[in-house]
Chains A and B, each alone.
Chain A
Amino acid sequence: MVEKRRFGNLVPHLILLVGVSIVAFPVYLAFVASTHDAATIANGQMQPVPGPHFLENYYRTIFVGTSSSTREPVGTMMLNSFVMAMGIALGKILISIISAYAVVYFRFPFRMTAFWIIFVTLMLPVEVRIYPTYKIVADLGLIDTYAGLTMPLVASATGTLLFRQFFMTIPDELLEASKIDGAGAFRFFKDTVLPLSITTIAALFVIQFIYGWNQYLWPLLITTKDNMQTIVIGIKKMIVTQDALTEWQLAMATAVLAMLPPVVVVVLMQRLFVKGLVETEK
């Protein structure tokens, strides 16, 4: 601290507390709503304290589903979200680490062309090419499949750039030493590059898992069957705007369940998360 303050750090604490409360309040309210019954919420009588219907609401949400719209139970949706998020995260890591390995450690014709072909995809988010991409996936017969959900989102330049950047920092001497030991491309990758890359892989995994879990537009287009829906899509269909039929207590339980996995990942792996976030944006 540069100078002494009369009231210590009262003002920063107050501002931060207000900030934290504003950030937490919508989620707290969603949790509260998920523990009340439908009538209390619909009457507008809900008080901001938890009610007695926690177990009942969550049981119905996960195993039964909402009654008004004959939707799938949220358990199925969570499984779909999980498969999609893992598929995207692991797929991205796998294809980008080997392509970065090729670009950094080999010399071959069209090396930089290949790099630029990958690099330019940074500029084409799925939102700007939705219908043509949809048509291609439909033509390939991948509607309502996990492959259709994940594959178009697996390729992106972020991972390749991140691994390329990291590989450049690995000292050349390691490759020399490994060559002297008679190791080939595969052994150098497995014994040297991969162990050194663990932190980078983990950081990328955290970011891409969140990215995959939170996808919205793509699953909305590509899933037509209820049992292929992801949870982020499912919740939207539970909320019938201007309609008293919305079962808000179940919708809010779904919202809590949809937030839980990615938020837990961020909180438990905060260091990796921050590293991943800062490095993928470079």
Chain B
Amino acid sequence: MEKRSVISGRLLPYLLLLPQLAITLVFFYWPASQALWQSFMLEDAFGLSSEFVGLENYAALFQQPEYFRAVGTTFIFSTAVTVLSLSVALLLAAMADRQIRGAPVYKTLLIWPYAVAPAIAGVLWLFMFQPSLGLVARGLRSLGLDWNPLLNGNHAMMLVVLSATWKQISYNFLFFLAGLQAIPKSLIEAAAIDGARPTRRFWTIVFPLLSPTTFFLLVVNIVYVFFDTFGIIDAVTGGGPAKATETLVYKVYSDGRLGGDLGGSAAQSVILMIIVIALTAVQFRFVERKVQY
């Protein structure tokens, strides 16, 4: 799509683009290409000289058991958060979509956690589940459960999954509700006349028609879990205990910060960039399909 009528000007458009392009080049392209370049270089221990080593940093990375552990952690974490937050949000949206009294109030009361910072969400849940003084943790302990996310890796994982899910429900709810409201009521009424009960109507008509929204949210949620949950992990567990909650993004951060392994850290960044680009590409292909649909 192009404008038929345009403004004439030779220098002006470049001046208008200058701020955005300058910031983009300095803070996006330059660092990204640095990461790419460093991932092929090996620096000595003092950072004085470096040599080109090709794909050695990547090879070294793929020989690290910790790297695959972080891949596994990321996979479990993102699957758990995505499945949990999507199902809870869909349930709530399906309920709010019925013509019940107070639906707008419920909507307001369900969407505000979007505005809570991930790190703050983590802190709230940490407080509830803090083994010695948390209200919920005390309840769990009185039930005879030896709850301790500070020592037990599985408990720590559950805690970050819960915090991340809690924060993401509002976003998914909003998009599911919009998706549900876009489904023509006549289709549902027709099925009702044919004698289909509400549950059957939901799974045979509503859910398939909702699939573009679901698919879109699937991708957005994976991106969310990959990148935006950094604050939750850092505030709640710091990647621990014993790296049980160290995701790929957290590993880039902690490897680059603690060890001076710039090449290895850069290689990890490059792999993450490839993952984001792949996810974005999937998302855009889907968006194109939706437009035709």
Q: Which residues of A contact B (CB under 8 A)?
A: 1-3, 9, 11-13, 15-16, 19-20, 22-24, 26-27, 29-30, 33, 41-44, 46, 48, 94-96, 98-99, 101-108, 111, 114, 117-118, 121-125, 127-133, 135-137, 151-152, 154-155, 160, 168, 172, 175-176, 179, 184-185, 188, 210, 213-214, 216-217, 220, 232-233, 235-236, 239, 241-242, 248, 251-252, 255, 258-259, 262-263, 265-267, 270, 273-274, 277-278, 281-282
Of the listed residues A26, A30, A151, the one surrounded by the most CB atoms of chain B closer than 10 A to its CB is A26
A108 touches B20 (CB 8 A): no
A114 touches B17 (CB 8 A): yes
B7 touches A188 (CB 8 A): yes
Q: Which residues of B contact A (CB under 8 A)?
A: 1, 3-7, 9-10, 12-14, 16-17, 19-21, 23-32, 34-35, 38, 88, 91-92, 95-96, 98-102, 106, 108-121, 123-128, 132-133, 135, 138, 150, 166, 169-171, 174-175, 178, 188-189, 192, 216, 220, 227, 230-231, 234-235, 238, 249, 252-253, 256, 262, 265-266, 269, 272-273, 276-277, 280, 287
Would you give the shortest CB distance from B106 to chain A, in whole angstroms? Answer: 5
Q: A128-B35, A175-B3 are in contact. List 19 more A-B contacts (CB 8 A).
A: A12-B100, A16-B106, A27-B116, A29-B128, A42-B133, A98-B20, A101-B16, A102-B14, A102-B16, A107-B6, A123-B277, A131-B269, A132-B32, A155-B27, A179-B5, A185-B7, A259-B115, A270-B108, A281-B216
Q: How far is the CA of A278 from the CA of B171 in the complex (A)?
A: 10
Q: How far is the CA of A29 from the CA of B114 in the complex (A)?
A: 18
Kindly report which residue of chain B lies nearest to residue A210, judged by CB atoms: B115
A241 touches B7 (CB 8 A): no
Q: How far is the CA of A24 from the CA of B108 in the complex (A)?
A: 12
B12 touches A239 (CB 8 A): no
B192 touches A2 (CB 8 A): yes
Q: 25 A–B contact pairs at CB < 8 A?
A: A9-B98, A12-B95, A12-B96, A13-B102, A19-B92, A26-B124, A29-B124, A29-B128, A30-B127, A99-B16, A99-B20, A105-B6, A118-B20, A123-B276, A128-B273, A132-B30, A152-B27, A155-B23, A172-B5, A179-B5, A217-B230, A236-B123, A242-B150, A248-B127, A263-B116
Kindly report which residue of chain B lies nearest to residue A176, judged by CB atoms: B5
Q: How far is the CA of A242 from the CA of B149 in the complex (A)?
A: 11
What chain B residues lie within 8 Å of A46 (beta carbons)? 133, 135
What chain B residues lie within 8 Å of A42 (beta carbons)? 133
Q: Which 8 A-B pairs have the closest CB atoms?
A: A132-B31, A214-B117, A216-B231, A262-B115, A102-B16, A106-B13, A132-B34, A155-B23
What chain B residues lie within 8 Å of A11 (beta carbons)? 95
B38 touches A266 (CB 8 A): no
Q: How far is the CA of A124 from the CA of B112 in the complex (A)?
A: 27
What chain A residues lie within 8 Å of B115 (beta carbons)? 210, 214, 259, 262-263, 265-266
What chain A residues lie within 8 Å of B95 (beta carbons)? 11-12, 15-16, 19
Total inter-chain residue pairs, C-beta < 8 Å: 284
B124 touches A44 (CB 8 A): no
What chain A residues lie within 8 Å of B124 (beta carbons)? 26-27, 29-30, 255
Given contacts A15-B92, A175-B5, contact A95 B23 (CB under 8 A): yes
B269 touches A129 (CB 8 A): yes
What chain B residues lie within 8 Å of A160 (beta carbons)? 20
Of the listed residues A128, A184, A241, A259, the one surrounded by the most CB atoms of chain B closer than 10 A to its CB is A128
Q: How far is the CA of A228 from the CA of B96 in the complex (A)?
A: 43
A248 touches B133 (CB 8 A): yes
Would you give the shortest CB distance from A92 to chain B, in whole angstroms? Answer: 9
Q: How far is the CA of A132 from the CA of B272 in the complex (A)?
A: 14
Kindly report which residue of chain B lies nearest to residue A99, judged by CB atoms: B20
What chain B residues lie within 8 Å of A273 (beta carbons)? 111
A105 touches B3 (CB 8 A): yes
Would you give the shortest CB distance from B78 to chain A, in whole angstroms? Answer: 14
What chain A residues lie within 8 Å of B13 (beta carbons)? 102-103, 106, 108, 111
Given contacts A29-B124, A129-B32, contact A266 B114 (CB under 8 A): yes
B116 touches A98 (CB 8 A): no
What chain A residues lie within 8 Å of B112 (beta carbons)? 263, 266-267
B249 touches A127 (CB 8 A): yes
